[in-house]
């Protein structure tokens, strides 16, 4: 994932460049209320999308947002190794009345080193005149100048025709002229965008058919979900000849969101028979959809088409026996094609096959031990019923797998340390009146907030008591634990907590809820290795964090 | 909602009986995992659907489910007074080899006293032979016999052709013969059902067009959402000539769900220009959608098309000023048409225009005070640079806005309470060795985990010290604070914490990280009001939670 860029083996779908699966989760998806990706998140999201097999990953708007600029810099420096996907930078055409080469925003696109650039252009004459406040001709020149400059610098360019469908309704020709300006200047694809999301499928089909017939250009489609039809509109555009689809994971996006990548892929591959992904990738849909939900800190939609935990669950009692005899009569496709399962309760998500696949992926040799696989499936079911989720916590899953394997061999894994107790104290003392600004509830008054943790552990035959302060209870606990273990387990000095996520499950009345914590860790001694993620579940956030922290350290020790 | 049946004035849509909006939330929608309506719930749901203006409400399957039998009995006894809708009973055709008049399930349909009956019939020959285990001819006789009996008893009959589209793919004629058997026997509508939900809109359009052309029958459509296209498929069927749409509120239903009533209505009325609801009802969409979510005990989907709280939210700062000038350029329709609002998200890119729009939305009169707007923009920028985010925390933003406004007027808002200090303790004591299973790190050993909080506050002129336990540090702190405030601020008893989210920002090295907490709260005393969301940011998760909790309580007090 980092270090000098290694030329990874490139993988392509059977359709190759003839069909583009273009993901814009990191750019347009991040417009969803509540999503705020860190640069590390962006790298993790891009890696998952690459595993899904998409052809293009739009990573953000370098030059406009500092985090995006940093993301492209770190990707170019080798922190992101993509195998199927090409990274794409998003940006706008030059400003009116300027030269493209001198537009700092256009320069930032070149500086991002992305091989492909998606340029957004106004294609509705009302937007040109009322929002951009320039002439229709100058807008065309802005498009052709900018495309020409980027193509001249060796970039591949896709043009997003913003508000295309609304523009087409008002004026059938102007948007087409914008597309012509771009294609003549060297752009590869003219992407028709339903930016306001007000279209319906038959209308999209008609417009795409007309534009394809009139221009012969390679067309793409980008749909928002304001009519609840983004997926259908995207598919209808493909049926009308579009060969480039812009989607976001789980449909994340502004307002009602975008076309959901997983539903679009399911429909294109299984309904239209278009092999738009590399072999063997569609089956990753459920895993990757859920992992991306975790990274966005959004609960997966249990009823999402194709990938929802309930997408193939049958409740209707009248069908139960018939379903057992003839499952194909009651499912629109075999759920395994997308990595889903028909017997869905969340506890039954982990089948034997996925455990075996996962073990192979993690490099754990189960040696054909079907009894171990069965026990792991049982344990996962039990744990998931209690709120655990291993979908984004491979390291915890690997520990569970190895523990079951060791148990089956009659050996008990020796724990590197044993907890007797911990205590965490957080204290807040308001500063004295007049010490600072802020209202009198103490919200924004500078206050002293202290966290202190004491742990008592048994390690290397000794009982150790250690106390540490921290900037929060989990940090204090982490520090105290490391302090207690430092002498006996010096390898832990290189383990660093890089991310920490908390989710409250069973969303009613905080008091009854279960807390799930995900901790991502990395090794300062092995900077090239990927982060590892562990999970803890408990009604108490400190205890759930403790569990995930302990898993993280045990995992680190086991690897060394 | 109850009492003796009053002959309410009947209301109809401008299209009258020429177009049926048929809701099946109470029958097919209740197949969704987790939904379990009581009879009282069913009466409340039907009342809301009637307020929405649907033409038909399928109430359940009398005779098959005791709750449904009771619901129809209580409705017939006058507990349900409908003004636009007609109540419909759902049931199956007679069993093979029996007489309709003697089939107890058919009798129960008559006994329900529903004026309209939806009969479900197999229309895929494979289902007839393999699931029903009868002949294709007997199935036709079952349909015509049952329809004839019900029509003879004065009932109006709609026929649901189960698995019609899959059947059509296998045999273009058999499903049409089933429809013919029903229509000849007196049924009014042949409803084509995509029971497995595997269709796409162009395919639905083609099949409906073909069946309409071949039969001339009045056709209906019923779509499941397994391809994510149920809404689009329903609309496409209408565009092909169907004049009866079966939907469920918020798309509730088995697997991926059904066609969402609110999106279908929004599309039919605002996109196709079909006046399928009585005048003035579409504007009820948001209210009724959310109320129905409450009754189903499911959190409303904030990103649902038309009715989601975020369905018209704009985040992209670059558009905010343009949106203010020309809102119709950036929305696919005026949100007020469906009772929604154009929310503006306050983000990193917030400008003055966004703040002004947001203040107007929150009902805070800035009275043209551009100095206040400028100061709010500055404060938001500073805060956001420190990790605050107001885009999901309207209540905290409103407090900030009001504080700046008050400050500018030389008044200092009086805080309802003042914090002196708090202390939170979390303790974990491992159970003794041998007490339980699990590895020796204590991860899965049953352990005692205790949380206790003490707060010292000044409220109503008194100094109050209170201590409480909780199932986690934040819960303990929340409980202690409420305990301390209970006597002086009894209004807070009705405030309930409904959701709690934690996010670690600046994703490097846990120790340097900032924690952002979002707390959602609701009022048990004002159950119809939306939840309010507050935010806290601090390196310490307990302190960040404290800030969000305090904002939540201050906001609640300010409203009362």
Nearest to A294 by CA among A68, A72, A519: A519
A550 touches chain B (CB under 8 A): yes
pLDDT confidence of B239, banded at 50, 70, 90? very high
B299 chain-A contacts, CB cut-off 8 A: 507
| From A65, A429, A496, residue closest to B509, measured CB to CB | A496
In CATH, the architecture of A495-560 is 2-Layer Sandwich (3.30)
B332 touches chain A (CB under 8 A): yes
B442/A419 Cβ within 8 A: yes
Annotated domain spans of chain B? 22-296, 313-408, 417-488, 495-560
Structure tokens at A559: 């690897």
A540/B473 Cβ within 8 A: yes
B299/A254 Cβ within 8 A: no
Q: pLDDT at position A350, please?
A: 46
The Cα of B403 is separated from the nearest Cα of chain A by a number of Å equal to 8
How far apart are alpha carbons B556 and B558 in whole angstroms?
Answer: 5
Q: Over 70: is that where the pLDDT of A318 sits? A: no
Q: Mean pLDDT, chain B, as a whole number? A: 87
Residue A509, by phi and psi: left (phi above 0), alpha (psi -120 to 50) or beta?
Answer: left
Q: pLDDT at position B319, please?
A: 59
Q: Over 60: is that where the pLDDT of B151 sits? A: yes
Question: How many CB atoms sit inside 10 A of residue A328's CB?
Answer: 12
C-alpha dihedral, A458 to A463 to A468 to A471, nearest 10°: 10
User: How many Cα atoms are found within 13 Å in the side-chain-facing hemisphere of A428?
Assistant: 32
| From B228, B403, B440, residue closest to A305, measured CB to CB | B228
Residue A182, by phi and psi: left (phi above 0), alpha (psi -120 to 50) or beta?
Answer: alpha
Q: pLDDT at position B512, please?
A: 56
A546 touches chain B (CB under 8 A): yes
Place of tokens 């908390």: A502
Q: pLDDT at position A346, please?
A: 27
Q: Which CA distances in Å does A142 have to A103, A313, B217, B257?
A: 11, 52, 55, 46
How far apart are alpha carbons B196 and B194 in whole angstroms?
Answer: 6
Q: pLDDT at position A309, please?
A: 82
Determine which of A60, A74, A92, A227 to mutate to test the interface with B (most B C-beta atoms within 10 Å). A227
Q: Over 70: is that where the pLDDT of B6 sits? A: no
Q: Are B544 and B477 in contact, with CB atoms under 8 Å apart?
A: no
Mean pLDDT of A426-438: 64
Q: Poorest-confidence range of A501-505, B176-180, B376-380? A: A501-505
Closest-CA residue of B relative to A238 is B202
CA B118 to chain centre: 25
Q: A38-68 pLDDT, tens per residue?
A: 888 999 999 999 999 999 999 999 988 888 9
Determine which of A443, A452, A533 to mutate to test the interface with B (most B C-beta atoms within 10 Å). A443
Mean pLDDT of A211-239: 98
> Is B427 exposed, middle or buried, given 0-12, 13-18 or 19+ CB atoms closer than 10 A?
middle
pLDDT confidence of B497, banded at 50, 70, 90? confident
Q: pLDDT at position A324, please?
A: 55
Q: A345-367 pLDDT, tens per residue?
A: 323 334 666 677 678 778 888 87
A426/B542 Cβ within 8 A: yes
B441/A554 Cβ within 8 A: yes
How far apart are alpha carbons A402 and A372 in whole angstroms?
Answer: 10
For chain B, give the percent of residues with pLDDT over 90: 60
B479, containing H or E segment: helix B473-485
A475/B498 Cβ within 8 A: no
B543 chain-A contacts, CB cut-off 8 A: 426, 428, 447, 449, 472
Q: B161-199 pLDDT, tens per residue?
A: 999 999 999 999 999 999 999 999 999 999 999 999 999
The Cα of B398 is separated from the nearest Cα of chain A by a number of Å equal to 14
Residue B540: DSSP 8-state: S
The Cα of A440 is separated from the nearest Cα of chain B by a number of Å equal to 5
A38 chain-B contacts, CB cut-off 8 A: 505-507
Residue B434: which residues within 8 A CB-CB, separation 6 or more? none
Q: Over 80: is that where the pLDDT of A544 sits? A: yes
A254/B315 Cβ within 8 A: yes
Place of tokens 């099946």: B24
User: How many Cα atoms are found within 13 Å in the side-chain-facing hemisphere of B331?
Assistant: 26
How far apart are alpha carbons A72 and B394 in whole angstroms?
Answer: 32
| From B304, B471, B510, residue closest to A511, measured CB to CB | B471
Q: Over 90: is that where the pLDDT of B264 sits? A: yes
* Homologous superfamily of A22-296: Aldolase class I (3.20.20.70)
Q: pLDDT at position B158, please?
A: 98
pLDDT confidence of B434, banded at 50, 70, 90? very low
Q: Are B225 and B253 in contact, with CB atoms under 8 Å apart?
A: yes
A39 chain-B contacts, CB cut-off 8 A: 507
Q: Are A174 and A168 in contact, with CB atoms under 8 Å apart?
A: no
A2 touches chain B (CB under 8 A): no
B515/A472 Cβ within 8 A: yes
Q: pLDDT at position B446, please?
A: 61
Q: pLDDT at position B316, please?
A: 55
A547/B32 Cβ within 8 A: no
A451 chain-B contacts, CB cut-off 8 A: 540, 542
pLDDT confidence of A527, banded at 50, 70, 90? low
Q: Over 50: is that where the pLDDT of B518 sits? A: yes
Question: How many CB atoms sit inside 10 A of residue B186's CB?
Answer: 16
How far apart are alpha carbons A220 and A409 in whole angstroms?
Answer: 56
| From A310, A428, A503, residue closest to B543, measured CB to CB | A428
Q: Over 90: is that where the pLDDT of A368 sits? A: no
B494 touches chain A (CB under 8 A): no
A229 touches chain B (CB under 8 A): yes
B334 touches chain A (CB under 8 A): no
Q: Angle at Cα B262 formed by Cα B258 and Cα B264, nearest 5°?
A: 70
DSSP B231-283: HHHHHHHHHTT--EEEEBGGG--STT-B-BHHHHHHIIIIIS----S-TT-GG
C-alpha dihedral, A545 to A551 to A556 to A558, nearest 10°: 170
How far apart are alpha carbons A262 and B398 in whole angstroms?
Answer: 37
How far apart are alpha carbons B288 and B267 in whole angstroms?
Answer: 17
Nearest to A85 by CA among A41, A116, A54, A42: A54
B540 touches chain A (CB under 8 A): yes
User: How many Cα atoms are found within 13 Å in the side-chain-facing hemisphere of B359?
Assistant: 25
Q: B323-372 pLDDT, tens per residue?
A: 767 778 888 888 889 888 776 555 544 567 778 878 888 888 887 788 88
Q: pLDDT at position A356, please?
A: 74
Q: B474-496 pLDDT, tens per residue?
A: 989 999 999 999 999 998 988 98
B313 chain-A contacts, CB cut-off 8 A: 33, 254-255
A225 chain-B contacts, CB cut-off 8 A: 303, 305
B131 touches chain A (CB under 8 A): yes
Q: A136-182 pLDDT, tens per residue?
A: 999 999 999 999 999 999 999 999 999 999 999 999 999 999 999 99
Question: How many CB atoms sit inside 10 A of residue B384's CB?
Answer: 18
Q: Are B190 and B218 in contact, with CB atoms under 8 Å apart?
A: yes
| From A163, A263, A554, residue closest to B227, measured CB to CB | A263
Q: Angle at Cα B191 formed by Cα B186 and Cα B194, nearest 5°?
A: 155
B38 vs B154 pLDDT, higher one: B154
How far apart are alpha carbons B8 and B303 in whole angstroms?
Answer: 36
pLDDT confidence of A327, banded at 50, 70, 90? confident
Backbone phi, psi, residue B218, to 5°: -70, 125
pLDDT confidence of B432, banded at 50, 70, 90? low
Residue B224: DSSP 8-state: B
pLDDT confidence of A425, banded at 50, 70, 90? very high
The Cα of A124 is separated from the nearest Cα of chain B by a number of Å equal to 10
CA B471 to chain centre: 30
| From A198, A470, A479, residue closest to B332, measured CB to CB | A198
B222 vs A1 pLDDT, higher one: B222
pLDDT confidence of A435, banded at 50, 70, 90? very low
B551, containing H or E segment: helix B541-559
User: Between residues 63 and 82 of chain B, which touch chain A (CB distance below 8 Å)?
Assistant: none
A315/B254 Cβ within 8 A: yes
How far apart are alpha carbons B301 and A298 in whole angstroms?
Answer: 12
Q: Over 60: is that where the pLDDT of A251 sits? A: yes
Q: pLDDT at position A331, please?
A: 87
Residue A506: which residues within 8 A CB-CB, separation 6 or more? A387, A512, A513, A514
Q: B388-425 pLDDT, tens per residue?
A: 878 678 899 999 988 888 887 777 667 889 999 999 99
Q: pLDDT at position A451, please?
A: 94
Q: Which CA distances in Å does A324 have to A317, A330, B25?
A: 12, 10, 27
Q: Mean pLDDT, chain A, as a whole number? A: 87
User: Between residues 286 and 305 of chain A, which touch chain B (CB distance below 8 Å)?
Assistant: 297, 301-305
A417/B441 Cβ within 8 A: yes
Q: Are A534 and B534 in contact, with CB atoms under 8 Å apart?
A: no
Domain at A417-488, CATH from 3.30.160, 3.10.350, 3.50.70, 1.10.10? 3.30.160
How far apart are alpha carbons A145 and A106 in whole angstroms?
Answer: 11
Closest-CA residue of A relative to B28 is A316
B306 chain-A contacts, CB cut-off 8 A: 226-228, 256
Q: Over 50: is that where the pLDDT of A441 sits? A: no
A127 touches chain B (CB under 8 A): yes
Structure tokens at B113: 């006293």
pLDDT confidence of B313, banded at 50, 70, 90? confident
Could you check whether B417-488 and B495-560 share the same CATH topology? yes
B403 touches chain A (CB under 8 A): yes
Q: pLDDT at position B110, please?
A: 97
A83 vs B357 pLDDT, higher one: A83
Q: Which CA distances in Å does B224 have to A229, B406, B449?
A: 14, 53, 46
Q: pLDDT at position A345, please?
A: 30
B511 chain-A contacts, CB cut-off 8 A: 470-471, 475, 479, 497
Task: List the A532-538 sheet strands across, edge first.
Answer: A532-538, A514-523, A495-505, B495-505, B514-523, B532-538
Query: How many CB pairs below 8 Å do chains A and B form together?
Result: 399
Q: A460-479 pLDDT, tens per residue?
A: 999 999 999 998 899 899 99
| From A417, A428, A554, residue closest to B546, measured CB to CB | A428
Q: Are B473 and A541 in contact, with CB atoms under 8 Å apart?
A: yes
Residue A224: DSSP 8-state: B
The Cα of B7 is separated from the nearest Cα of chain A by a number of Å equal to 36
How far apart are alpha carbons A273 and A58 in whole angstroms?
Answer: 26
How far apart are alpha carbons B84 and B21 in whole angstroms?
Answer: 11
Q: Poorest-confidence range of A329-333, B53-57, B200-204, B353-357? A: B353-357
Q: Over 50: is that where the pLDDT of A344 sits? A: no
Residue B551: which residues within 8 A CB-CB, separation 6 or more? A443, B395, B396, B399, B519, B534, B535, B536
Residue B152: which residues within 8 A CB-CB, separation 6 or more? none
Residue A286: which residues within 8 A CB-CB, separation 6 or more? A306, A307, A338, A339, A340, A349
B424/A312 Cβ within 8 A: no
Mean pLDDT of A483-500: 89
């Amino acid at each position: 994932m980092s270090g000098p860029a290694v030329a990874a083996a490139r993988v392509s779908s059977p359709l190759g460049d003839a069909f583009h699966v273009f993901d814009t989760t990191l750019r347009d998806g991040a417009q969803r209320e509540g999503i705020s990706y860190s640069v590390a998140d962006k790298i993790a999201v891009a890696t998952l999308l690459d595993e899904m097999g998409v052809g293009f990953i739009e990573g953000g708007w370098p030059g406009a947002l500092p985090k995006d600029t940093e993301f492209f810099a770190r990707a170019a420096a080798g922190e992101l190794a993509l195998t199927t996907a090409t990274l794409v930078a998003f940006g706008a055409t030059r400003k009116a009345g300027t030269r493209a080469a001198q537009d700092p925003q256009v320069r930032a696109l070149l500086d991002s080193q992305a091989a492909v650039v998606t340029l957004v252009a106004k294609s509705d004459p009302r937007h040109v005149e009322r929002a951009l406040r320039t002439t229709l001709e100058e807008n065309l020149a802005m498009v052709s100048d900018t495309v020409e400059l980027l193509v001249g610098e060796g970039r591949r360019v896709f043009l997003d025709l913003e508000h295309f469908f609304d523009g087409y309704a008002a004026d059938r020709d102007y948007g087409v002229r914008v597309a012509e300006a771009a294609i003549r200047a060297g752009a590869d694809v003219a992407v028709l965008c339903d930016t306001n999301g007000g279209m319906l499928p038959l209308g999209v089909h008609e417009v795409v058919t007309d534009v394809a017939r009139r221009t012969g250009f390679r067309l793409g489609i980008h749909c928002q979900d304001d009519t609840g039809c983004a997926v259908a509109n995207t598919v209808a555009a493909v049926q009308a000849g579009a060969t480039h689809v812009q989607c976001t994971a789980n449909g994340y996006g502004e307002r009602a969101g975008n076309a959901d990548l997983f539903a679009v892929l399911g429909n294109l591959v299984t309904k239209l028979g278009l092999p738009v992904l590399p072999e063997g990738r569609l089956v990753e849909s459920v895993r990757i959809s859920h992992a991306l939900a975790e990274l966005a800190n959004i609960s997966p939609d249990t009823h999402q088409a194709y990938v929802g935990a309930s997408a193939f669950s049958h409740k209707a009692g009248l069908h139960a026996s018939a379903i057992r005899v003839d499952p194909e009569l009651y499912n629109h496709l075999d759920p395994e094609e997308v990595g889903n399962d028909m017997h869905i309760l969340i506890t039954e998500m982990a089948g034997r096959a996925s455990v075996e696949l996962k073990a192979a992926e993690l490099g754990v040799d189960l040696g054909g031990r079907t009894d171990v696989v069965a026990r792991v499936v049982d344990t996962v079911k039990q744990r998931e019923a209690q709120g655990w989720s291993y979908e984004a916590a491979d390291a915890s899953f690997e520990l569970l797998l190895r523990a079951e394997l060791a148990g089956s061999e009659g050996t008990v894994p020796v724990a590197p340390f044993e907890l007797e107790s911990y205590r965490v104290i957080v204290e807040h003392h308001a500063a004295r009146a007049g010490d600072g600004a802020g209202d009198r509830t103490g919200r924004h008054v500078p206050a002293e907030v202290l966290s202190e943790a004491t742990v008592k552990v048994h390690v290397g035959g000794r009982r150790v008591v250690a106390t540490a302060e921290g900037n929060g209870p989990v940090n204090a606990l982490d520090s105290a634990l490391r302090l207690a273990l430092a002498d006996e387990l010096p390898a832990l000095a290189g383990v660093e907590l890089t991310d920490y996520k908390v989710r409250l499950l069973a969303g009613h009345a905080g008091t009854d809820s279960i807390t799930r914590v995900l901790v991502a860790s990395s090794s300062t001694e092995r900077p090239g290795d990927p982060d590892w993620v562990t999970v803890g579940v408990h009604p108490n956030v400190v205890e759930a964090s403790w569990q995930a922290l302990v898993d993280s350290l045990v995992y680190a020790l086991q690897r060394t």
